[in-house]
Each structure stands twice: as structure tokens, then as C-alpha cells.
């Protein structure tokens, strides 16, 4: 356990030194603030854009607070995921290229401890960043559009966090398998996009898909309920996370160049 804590502290210290611990949460805060502000001021922006006939009346239905927060979470699922993947794609591959990995593995370090410390370090960055962005989005949404049910908001936060956890686990798995950072980012984002498209096209046959967690979050915020397939989706997501983590450890342990 002491060895694992040393490795985990190394990950956190490295994130502080390369400023990931600061700029990634900042990006999420900006994403969380932008959507409520843009939605609220869109009528004024259009009105002052010019080139409109005199007497033009612009009427845009005001969305509910839950709808605005749901749209904000969708921003985390696009730009937020992109930022997280780019920030974490070199988690293992970068140390392999720089030679740091060889120096670490010369010592009697458990492969599983190394992989899990990397994984928990990524999740720490992910959940802290998501928390900062979600809190900012919640505050400005409540300020501009009205209150949001606390229970639904917290449940949606935790539920969407599992989707981000899945994406980060895929990133770690790719980083343990490949050497090129570009290939790691491309394949990770491709898997996320493929699951999302597959879930949308075959919605009746993909109740198990981890990408369906985003739909459950939307349903929870807007309708206040979860469908019956929620537990199946969550169970499959957690199983995939565990399997990917174990396989990443297996791949890393059998790398010939370590």
C-alpha cells in the first residue's frame, strides 16, 4: 500500500508540475459557464446583431433550468472529453518514450500498483475537473433560469461521471497498448464516437451501451426519472471498466521493452 501511495503522489505531483491540475479544471469551468450565459443572452445577441427590419420581434422560448444544465453536460461530452483525452493520452506512452518508465520498473514495483495508480490519478483529475465545471454550470443555471432539483442534479453528476471514467479507462488501456500519442487519442475518441453513433442508430438493441449513460442523464434531469435499462447500462459500464483495467495491466506486464 505504501508503494501504491508513493506512485499515486507522483502522479498528482506531475499533474501539478505540468499544470494539468490547473488548466483542465479551468477549461471545464469555462465550458460550464458558457452554455447558460449563451443561452440566456442569445435573444439579445440576435437583437443587436443588426440588419433586422424595424419592428422585428424575436421570440425564443425560454428553456427550463434542467434543459440548460442537460445541454451543458453535453458540452462536457464533446469538448470536455476531447480535453481529457488529450491531457491523458501520454500517461504511459509518454513515460515509455522518455525513458522514465524504465527507471521506475527497474525497482521492485508491482505492475498492478503502477497501472492502478495511473488510473486513480486520471480519475482524480477527471472527477475534480468535472466537479468544478458542473458546479459552475449549476450555479449560473440556477441564477439565470431558476432552481434545479438537488437530488436529480447530484444523481446526474455521479451518473455522467461513470461515462467519463469509462473514457479515461479506455485512454489508459490505449496508452498501455500503443506508443504513439496521436494514435492513442484518435482511437479513444473513435471508440467513444462509435459507441455514441451505434447507440443512436440501434437504440432498441443497445440498452447495454455505456454511451447510453448520457441519455439517462438527460432523462434524469429533464423528466426526473430513469428507464428500466439503467441498471443494465451501469452494470455493463462498470464491467467494461474493470476488464479494460485488468487487460491494461496484462498488456503492460508483458511488454517486452519494459
**Within a 10 A sphere around the Cβ of 188, how many other Cβ atoms?**
27
| pLDDT at residue 116 in the model | 92
Cell numbers of 13, please?
Answer: 505531483
Q: What CA–CA distance (Å, rounded) separates 182 from 187?
A: 9
pLDDT tens digit at each of 258 positions of the chain:
788 888 899 889 989 998 999 999 999 999 999 989 888 877 776 666 656 565 555 566 678 888 889 888 888 888 999 999 999 888 887 777 776 776 676 777 788 888 999 999 999 999 999 999 999 999 999 998 888 888 888 999 999 999 999 999 999 999 888 888 889 999 999 999 999 999 888 888 888 899 999 888 988 888 888 877 888 999 999 999 999 999 998 988 877 444
Q: What CA–CA distance (Å, rounded) separates 60 from 207?
A: 34
| pLDDT at residue 200 in the model | 85
DSSP three-state, residue 18: coil
Sole residue written with cell 507522483: 10
Is the CB of residue 131 less than 8 Å from the CB of residue 24?
no
| pLDDT at residue 152 in the model | 87
Q: Could you give the dihedral angle defined by the CA atoms of residues 74, 80, 85 and 91, in that order, rounded to the nearest 10 degrees? A: -130
Amino acid at each position: 500500500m505504501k508503494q501504491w501511495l508513493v506512485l499515486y503522489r507522483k502522479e498528482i505531483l506531475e499533474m501539478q508540475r505540468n499544470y494539468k491540475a490547473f488548466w483542465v479544471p479551468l477549461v471545464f469551468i469555462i465550458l460550464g459557464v458558457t452554455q447558460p450565459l449563451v443561452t440566456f443572452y442569445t435573444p439579445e445577441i440576435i437583437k443587436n446583431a443588426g440588419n433586422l427590419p424595424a419592428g422585428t420581434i424575436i421570440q425564443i422560448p425560454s428553456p427550463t433550468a434542467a434543459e440548460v444544465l442537460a445541454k451543458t453536460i453535453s458540452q462536457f461530452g464533446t469538448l470536455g472529453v476531447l480535453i481529457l483525452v488529450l491531457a491523458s493520452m501520454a500517461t504511459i506512452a509518454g513515460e515509455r518514450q522518455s525513458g522514465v518508465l524504465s527507471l521506475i520498473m527497474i525497482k521492485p514495483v508491482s505492475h498492478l500498483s503502477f497501472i492502478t495508480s495511473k488510473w486513480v490519478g486520471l480519475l482524480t483529475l477527471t472527477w475534480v475537473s468535472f466537479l468544478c465545471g458542473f458546479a459552475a454550470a449549476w450555479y449560473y443555471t440556477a441564477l439565470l433560469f431558476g432552481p434545479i432539483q438537488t437530488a436529480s442534479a447530484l444523481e446526474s453528476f455521479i451518473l455522467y461521471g461513470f461515462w467519463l471514467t469509462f473514457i479515461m479507462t479506455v485512454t489508459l488501456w490505449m496508452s498501455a497498448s500503443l506508443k504513439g500519442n496521436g494514435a492513442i487519442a484518435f482511437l479513444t475518441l473513435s471508440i467513444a464516437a462509435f459507441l455514441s453513433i451505434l447507440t443512436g442508430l440501434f437504440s432498441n438493441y443497445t440498452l447495454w451501451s455505456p454511451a447510453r449513460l448520457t441519455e439517462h442523464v438527460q432523462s434524469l434531469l429533464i423528466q426526473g426519472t430513469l428507464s428500466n435499462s439503467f441498471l443494465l447500462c451501469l452494470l455493463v459500464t462498470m464491467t467494461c471498466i474493470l476488464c479494460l483495467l485488468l487487460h491494461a495491466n496484462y498488456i503492460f506486464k508483458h511488454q517486452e521493452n519494459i
